[in-house]
């Protein structure tokens, strides 16, 4: 069942990742603290797998979109 378009899914991936990366800085968390580092790393990993997913917004199409659910 398709709830949102693949393009919308890609946009949400990048928006989610950007939000995760910005959150520790916007909320003035201790940059060297473990929670801030974990959140930023998750954001960076989300961008990394989004960049290599085979969909409209993935410039390096390696991972089939159907496999993205396995990563999550």
Hey, which bits of 8-70 come out as E strands?
A: 53-54, 63-64
For 51, the domain range is: 6-71
| Each residue's pLDDT tens digit, 43-54 | 999 999 899 988
The pLDDT confidence band at residue 65, using thresholds 50, 70 and 90, is confident
Q: Establish if 59 belongs to a structural domain.
A: yes
How many folded domains does the chain comprise? 1
Q: Establish if 1 belongs to a structural domain.
A: no
Q: Establish if 49 belongs to a structural domain.
A: yes
Which of 3-12, 15-24, 31-40, 44-53 has the weakest average pLDDT?
3-12
Q: Establish if 17 belongs to a structural domain.
A: yes
Q: Establish if 40 belongs to a structural domain.
A: yes
Contacts of 51 (CB under 8 A, 6+ apart): 58, 59, 60
Provide, rounded to the nearest whole percent, the portion of the chain with pLDDT above 90.
Answer: 49
Say whether pTM exceeds 0.85.
Answer: no
Query: What average pLDDT does this structure show over 7-28?
Result: 93
């Amino acid at each position: 069942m398709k709830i949102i378009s693949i393009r919308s899914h890609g946009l949400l991936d990048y928006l989610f990742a950007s939000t995760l990366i910005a959150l520790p800085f916007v909320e003035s968390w201790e940059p060297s603290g473990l929670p801030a580092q974990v959140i930023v790393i998750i954001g960076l990993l989300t961008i990394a797998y989004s960049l290599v997913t085979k969909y409209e917004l993935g410039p390096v199409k390696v991972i089939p979109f159907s496999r993205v659910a396995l990563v999550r």
